[in-house]
Amino acid sequence: MSGEKLWGGKPFHGLGYDFDPQWLLTPEQKDLQAKLIELCHTTLRPNAIVSDRERIFPRKNMEALASLGLLALHVPKKYGGLAQNHVCVTMVLETIGRYGCSSTALVYSMHLLATAALLYRAEGNAEIEKVLRRLNKDVFIGTSSYSDPETGSHFWYPMASRAEKIDGGWKVNKRSSWTTSGGYADFYVAQTSSPDFKGNFADLSVFLLYKDEIRATTSSWDAMGMQGNQSGPITIDNVEIPHDRMIGPPGDGAKSNDEAVDPLGLLMFSGTYNGISLGAIDIAKMQTTRKVHADVGMRVCDYPTIQDYVGECVMDTQASRLYAFSIARLMDDVTENGDWSLHERDPNAMPRAQYLPWLWQTKFIACKNVYNVVDKMLQACGGTGYKKDLGLERLVRDGKAGWVMGPTNEVLRQFIGKYALLGMESLDYWNQQVNERVLNNELKKLDAAGKRRLMESLAADLQQQAAQ
Ligand SMILES: Cc1cc2nc3c(=O)[nH]c(=O)nc-3n(C[C@H](O)[C@H](O)[C@H](O)COP(=O)(O)OP(=O)(O)OC[C@H]3O[C@@H](n4cnc5c(N)ncnc54)[C@H](O)[C@@H]3O)c2cc1C
């Protein structure tokens, strides 16, 4: 247990360290956490209010994070990073979401996620190594451009994007429907179908692009919340890039997703949304302990109803964050404490990927929990909570983004249900497996003429394929 939690030199108004799983952190990580809480007080939180009101990209907050070395949080020391592990990444995102700024947490997550894709295949690529060395020094912000306008929240299915091999490199075409920091970020990790694509959407490749190679309309984000994240469509139009801007070998996309991008992303989303839940509870504690009803001489926190709300939300949130930290610890155990060099030693190593279903559950639980917590804390704070001044209504709006961000919670619960009932193969990410049960059932409905029409159409298809 650490000492008293401070906020601007005074005792913190919300839950103290006795509610935080401090036993998971090393002394160095606790020190980083305390410095980050202070930075949230002086910089991230004040900027969050302006970012939310004026829809401003939180560049200043990213500069502040760089001042603590955090833009290279999980980057090896040889590239100037802090070489921190998955537990620390989860803690940092929770801290930013709780005490700082949700939009910054999202922008920062997309940055670390893009960095993870680079780290996975950094070995021997001087261009990637150059980017990694610039992160803190130049506040060099990255983002991850995956979601495709044709396939919505199925962001791993880039139907509208392609690449081809040209002399000396690649020609990349990408349409992305959403990219956090689009137009503001300095580098972009983008996924397309592979240069030798033959119709199998599992054959994906990953590219590194720079700001002057993408087109984006900045400041177009106008949404319910996450006002600073400035997610928007980006276009990469026949951009020719050198050979070393492909991250990893051709066809590495699915591996990169399963081993680097998804595991880190899902942990960071969990940390962020658990942080938002905790931030809402902190505000509710502050408000309900100070508001008095003179007629009965009671504070709002003295009512058992309010105690029940808070008690239940605290316990649900603890379950969610301990789940996330437990999976983060598991990731540390299987990666020699977040050591990326294991992918240099064995490019086929996929230690994180085997636990993907556990990571999906982490994101689902945190993003489901935050819905309930922000609502209940709003109720506990009454009309005062509904007003902007308290800072809770921003968390209500920001908290809602987690559920709809890919992989969405609808998709995740279906994945887990299918996996539990029918096995992993049944997930069929890229729409490749025929569901013969459904097919046979539909065929049963056809009369002789219908079957003949179908046979003729299939025969024509086969002929066309044979002619190609
Ligand atoms: C704030 C914010 C920031 C973002 N930043 C990025 C970013 O940086 N990079 C990036 O690549 N993407 C980003 N995204 C995109 C995000 O990951 C999703 O792709 C996007 O939110 C999906 O929205 P959509 O309107 O296309 O949903 P749709 O795909 O149209 O989904 C509509 C509904 O259908 C449901 N649904 C979808 N498939 C199934 C299914 N199989 N079964 C049941 N229901 C299903 C969905 O869950 C949802 O409820 C961001 C999104 C938000 C909100």
Structure confidence by residue, pLDDT tens digits, 432-453 = 899 999 999 999 999 999 999 9
Flag whether 12 is in a domain.
Answer: no
Flag whether 273 is in a domain.
Answer: no
Tokens of 402: 């987690």
pLDDT of residue 220: 86
Tokens of 420: 């539990």
- How close is the Cα of 400 to the center of ligand 1, in Å? 13
Three-class DSSP labels, 52-83:
HHHCCCCHHHHHHHHHCCHHHCCCCHHHCCCC
Residue nearest to atom 31 of ligand 1 (CA): 153
Which of 256, 268, 408, 415 to mutate for ligand 1's pocket (most ligand atoms within 8 Å of CB)? Answer: 408
pLDDT of residue 2: 59
Flag whether 152 is in a domain.
Answer: yes
Residue nearest to atom 14 of ligand 1 (CA): 178
The domain that contains 201 carries what CATH number? 2.40.110.10
What domain range is 444 assigned to? Answer: 436-467
Cβ 183 vs Cβ 103: under 8 Å:
no
Residues 260-289 have a mean pLDDT of 98
CB under 8 Å to 36, separation ≥6 — which residues? 68, 70, 92, 95, 96, 99, 100
Tokens of 455: 């046979």
Flag whether 336 is in a domain.
Answer: no
Which helix or strand (DSSP H or E) is residue 7 part of?
strand 6-7
Task: Write out the E strands in 187-324.
Answer: 187-193, 204-210, 215-216, 232-242, 292-293, 298-299
Flag whether 186 is in a domain.
Answer: yes
Cβ 122 vs Cβ 132: under 8 Å:
yes
CB under 8 Å to 2, separation ≥6 — which residues? 17, 20, 22, 30, 34
pLDDT of residue 44: 98
% of the chain surpassing 90 pLDDT: 94
Residue nearest to atom 30 of ligand 1 (CA): 152
Respond yes or no on whether the N-terminal peptide bond of residue 407 is cis (omega within 30° of 0): yes
Please report where in the chains the tokens 């939300």 appear, as a residue: 313
pLDDT of residue 468: 80
Which of 111, 147, 155, 157 to mutate for ligand 1's pocket (most ligand atoms within 8 Å of CB)? Answer: 147
Residue nearest to atom 22 of ligand 1 (CA): 153
Single out the residue in 221, 253, 285 at which a domain terminates.
253
User: Does 35 score more than 90 pLDDT?
Assistant: yes
Residue nearest to atom 5 of ligand 1 (CA): 180
Backbone phi and psi for residue 46, each to the nearest 5 degrees, phi listed first: -55, -40
User: Does 1 score more than 60 pLDDT?
Assistant: no
Total number of domains constituting the chain = 2
Single out the residue in 253, 285, 303 at which a domain terminates.
253
Residue range 53-65, pLDDT digits in tens:
999 999 999 999 9
Residue range 174-226, pLDDT digits in tens:
999 999 999 999 999 999 999 999 999 999 999 999 999 999 988 889 999 99
Flag whether 229 is in a domain.
Answer: yes
Pocket around ligand 1 at a 6 A CB cut-off: 110, 143-147, 152-153, 155, 178-180, 226, 229, 231, 401, 404-406, 408, 410-411, 414
Flag whether 223 is in a domain.
Answer: yes
- How close is the Cα of 338 to the center of ligand 1, in Å? 29
Please report where in the chains the tokens 């004026």 appear, as a residue: 54
Flag whether 388 is in a domain.
Answer: no
Which of 106, 178, 261, 410 to mutate for ligand 1's pocket (most ligand atoms within 8 Å of CB)? Answer: 178
Name which of 140, 115, 134, 116 is nearest 59 in CA terms: 140
Single out the residue in 205, 223, 253 at which a domain terminates.
253
Residue nearest to atom 21 of ligand 1 (CA): 405
Which helix or strand (DSSP H or E) is residue 111 part of?
helix 102-120
Q: Alpha-carbon distance 145 to 134, whole Å?
A: 20
